[in-house]
Amino acid sequence: MKAPRKIHSRQLLEIINRFPKARVLVLGDFILDRFIWGSVSRISPEAPVPVVNVNRESFLLGGSLNVANNIHTLGGIVYPCGIVGRDLEGRLLMRGLRRFGIETGGVVQDKTRPTTIKTRVIAHSQQVVRVDREKIQPLSVSDIRRILQFIQKKIKQADVVIVEDYGKGVVEPSLLKPLLKLAKRLKKPVLVDPKEKHFSLYKGVTAITPNRSEAYGGYNASNGRQPDLEEAGRGLLKQLNLQAVLITLGEEGMALFEKNQPTQRIPTTAREVFDVSGAGDTVIAAFGLSLAAGATLQQAAVLSNLAAGIVVGKLGTATIEPNELKQAIRSREDLFNA
């Protein structure tokens, strides 16, 4: 087994400087994140639940669009593709993309399914309840054809492909198989933020970024045993024929498993955790953008860990900017060989 490779802060800063030339194609479930912000001063007399006095509402790009927005705010070029309904929420998502100057050519509108919306009620910096509205059904032949037409056009320009699977119906075999076949022919790396029930679909992609629970659930251990972290990471590498598995571990940081490399444990850099909403989106966005900018898998994992440490310190479905990432590197020189 090879010795761990050294990471230098100078190299990480150089990778960030290359972000503006990096291009990423993002396929996945589009979600509108709605936040209702308020305060609580009493309990309802009707039931033992808090009464939230609403102060304001906000709407943010969620799901795979949060991945796309993270890539955009980090300075990269992104091509998102997915489905929205012909409804108010779909128009809000389109308006948000246009406001940020993000490509909209891959947005397919389908009048037969509503735009997926997650509504979170926040009071005193705490999430009180989440309400989801969604309709999970197979994509129509027409929707698949339109998405594939966009993919065939943009994948040639992309350096990396990201698949963000929220299990809302977009990531299915009829779409994923031709995408992977095309990516393999063009030698484009494919990264997946996985859904546990879909692990068998990801065979042969470059890397996946599950959390611990998803990794344990997706790995088929013998005799139905509960695997440990090392077994799950190494097992997924072999079962799915991957180059890498990056498992997020919450307050314990991350673990990177690569073929013919020792396991790399990456400690968390989060100082305060206010909200983990969308943290996984930030991880795969920074991981994919870093690879598109020429990073090694290990360098990309370190940068994605730093990005996650920043974003969990913010409320809501948040994004980060290059200067924040650079400052995080400079403030944690103890983690690198300067």
Work out the pLDDT band at 267, boundaries 50, 70, 90.
confident
Whether 271 shows a pLDDT value over 60: the answer reads no
Do the beta carbons of residue 337 and residue 315 sit within 8 Å?
Answer: no
Res 3: pLDDT? 43
Res 7: pLDDT? 82
143 is catalytic: no
Say which residues have a Cβ less than 8 Å from residue 76's Cβ, sequence separation at least 6: 19, 20, 22, 23, 24, 289, 292, 293
- Distance, CA of 192 to CA of 232 (rounded, Å): 17
Work out the pLDDT band at 222, boundaries 50, 70, 90.
low
Whether 125 shows a pLDDT value over 60: the answer reads yes
Res 317: pLDDT? 64
Q: Is 251 helix (H, G, I), strand (E, B) or coil?
A: helix
What amino acid occupies position 16?
A: I
Do the beta carbons of residue 292 and residue 22 sit within 8 Å?
Answer: yes
Res 279: pLDDT? 81
Total residues found in the chain within this entry: 338
Alpha carbon separation from 324 to 13, 252, 309, 311 (Å, rounded): 11, 21, 11, 10
- Distance, CA of 247 to CA of 111 (rounded, Å): 37
Burial letters for 135-174: b for 16+ Cβ neighbours within 10 Å, e otherwise?
Answer: eeeebeeebbebbbebbeebbeebbbbbbbbbebbbbeee
Q: Is 132 helix (H, G, I), strand (E, B) or coil?
A: strand
Res 290: pLDDT? 98
Res 309: pLDDT? 87
In the chain the domains, ranked by start, together with CATH numbers, are: 9-335 (3.40.1190.20)
Spatial strand order of the sheet with 116-123 comes to 50-63, 30-43, 116-123, 126-133
Burial letters for 246-264: b for 16+ Cβ neighbours within 10 Å, e otherwise?
Answer: bbbbeeebbbbbbeebebb
Taking alpha carbons only, the member of 270, 280, 282, 251 closest to residue 328 is: 270
pLDDT in tens, 278-335: 688 999 999 999 999 999 999 999 999 999 888 887 766 678 899 999 998 988 766 6
Mean of the pLDDT values across residues 240-267? 92
Lowest mean pLDDT among 206-210, 214-218, 313-317: 313-317
The residue that leads in pLDDT, 222 or 263, is 263
pLDDT in tens, 127-177: 899 999 998 888 899 999 999 999 999 999 999 999 999 999 899 999 999
Mean of the pLDDT values across residues 113-140? 91
Q: What is the pTM assigned to this prediction?
A: 0.91
| Both structure tokens of 89 | 């929420």
Do the beta carbons of residue 82 and residue 107 sit within 8 Å?
Answer: yes
Res 196: pLDDT? 84
Mean pLDDT rounded to a whole number for the chain: 90
Whether 4 shows a pLDDT value over 60: the answer reads no
Say which residues have a Cβ less than 8 Å from residue 42's Cβ, sequence separation at least 6: 50, 51
Q: What angle do CA 34, 39, 41 make, to 5 degrees?
A: 145
Whether 336 shows a pLDDT value over 70: the answer reads no
Candidate list 110, 159, 193, 281, residue with the active-site label: 281
Mean of the pLDDT values across residues 16-31? 97
Lowest mean pLDDT among 65-69, 194-198, 202-206, 233-237: 194-198
- Distance, CA of 309 to CA of 328 (rounded, Å): 9
Res 338: pLDDT? 47
| Both structure tokens of 236 | 């997924």
Res 314: pLDDT? 74
